[in-house]
């Protein structure tokens, strides 16, 4: 059941829409009495003096620098790095590596000593659970660590580490007797 909209209702709705539109158009457009007020306000704003500008900042004078080191050695050349590398400490590339040099120093454990006095031999256990005998002059660890002394409570050694400039530095290290 569809209800048909009666023609009178249609006419009333159409007249209402036209009146509504006419009212909106009347409020949007300004009245003739408002124009002089608006023009006066704009003229007053334009007549005001402009605000003063901020002064420009004072430019600081910088002292000029003239680079005069053209005759000096270039700090970025390879000659600088290789100068120290050819002299001083460095690992012996012709030395035969010992068994305990395959392991990092912190993975080696001193488990005891053999002998007395100045003839001490250290017992060192590697990660493969094999115990090795170590005397002064032997090499341990992956940084060319040379044993300098064996004591009853530990092993003293000196490692060779790169210094970052192409040379080598000696670094003292030690392995303490493991308490069980």
Tell me how far apart the alpha carbons of residues 168 and 165 are, in angstroms, rounded to a whole number.
8
The domain segmentation of the chain, as residue ranges, is 95-176
Domain 95-176 has CATH 2.30.30.830: yes
pTM of the prediction? 0.51
DSSP 8-state code for residue 177: B
pLDDT: is 48 or 20 the higher one?
A: 48
Q: What is the DSSP letter of 85?
A: H
Q: Which is more confidently placed, 130 or 6?
A: 130
Query: So what's the pLDDT on residue 180?
Result: 59
């Amino acid at each position: 059941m569809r209800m048909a909209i009666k023609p009178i209702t249609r006419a009333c709705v159409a007249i209402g829409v036209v009146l509504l539109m006419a009212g909106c158009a009347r409020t949007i457009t300004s009245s003739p009495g408002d124009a002089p007020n608006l023009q006066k306000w704009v003229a007053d704003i334009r007549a005001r003096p402009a605000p003063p500008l901020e002064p420009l900042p004072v430019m600081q004078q910088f002292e000029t620098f003239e680079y005069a080191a053209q005759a000096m050695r270039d700090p970025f050349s390879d000659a600088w790095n290789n100068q120290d590398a050819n002299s001083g400490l460095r690992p012996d590339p012709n030395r035969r590596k010992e068994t305990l040099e395959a392991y990092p120093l912190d993975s080696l454990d001193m488990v005891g000593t053999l002998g007395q006095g100045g003839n001490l031999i250290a017992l060192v256990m590697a990660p493969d659970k094999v115990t090795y005998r170590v005397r002064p002059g032997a090499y341990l660890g992956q940084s060319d660590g040379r044993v300098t002394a064996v004591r009853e409570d530990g092993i003293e050694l000196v490692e060779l580490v790169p210094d970052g400039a192409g040379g080598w530095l000696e670094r003292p290290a030690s392995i303490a007797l493991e308490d069980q």
